[in-house]
Amino acid sequence: MIATVLLQAAGGGMGYQQLIMFGLIAIVFYFFMIRPQVKKQKDQKKYVEELKKGDKIITTAGIHGKIYEVADTTFLIEVEGGTRIRFDKSAVSLDASKALNTPVATK
């Protein structure tokens, strides 16, 4: 009878271990998945807000152009041949546009 009570008492600690492991998984998930995504969204929003007329951009669809007009939620983009296309501000590709506008370092 004493052996049965001792075995049952030893099994009670598993609940805390599982709770601690679940907490650690949640923390790892936050730091590796959620936090970087939120940071990238903030960077994208800040970059789009700073764009002005004359800046060269690339859209997420791969269209290259120069900003001709800035509205509240859209850009009017001038592409090759003088054609103008209106795009939503969220269609600007942050990574591709930054690479397009950074000057190339020459040695």
Q: Could you tell me which residues are beta bridge partners of residue 67?
A: 77
Q: Would you give per-residue pLDDT tens digits along the chain (107 residues)?
A: 555 545 555 555 568 899 999 999 999 999 999 999 999 999 999 989 988 998 999 999 899 999 999 999 999 999 998 899 999 998 998 888 777 777 666 66
> What local confidence, expressed as pLDDT, does residue 98 receive?
77
If you ran DSSP here, which 8-state letter would residue 105 be given?
P
Q: What is the pLDDT of residues 19-41, one digit of tens each?
A: 999 999 999 999 999 999 999 99
Q: Global pTM?
A: 0.66
Q: What percent of the chain has pLDDT over 70?
A: 82
Strands (E), 1-107: 56-58, 64-70, 74-78, 84-88
> What local confidence, expressed as pLDDT, does residue 10 receive?
52
Contact indicator for 63, 78 with CB cutoff of 8 Å: no
> Coil, strand, or helix at residue 107?
coil
Contact indicator for 74, 85 with CB cutoff of 8 Å: no
Helix 35-50 and helix 94-101, axial crossing angle in degrees, nearest 10: 50
Q: What percent of the chain has pLDDT over 90?
A: 51
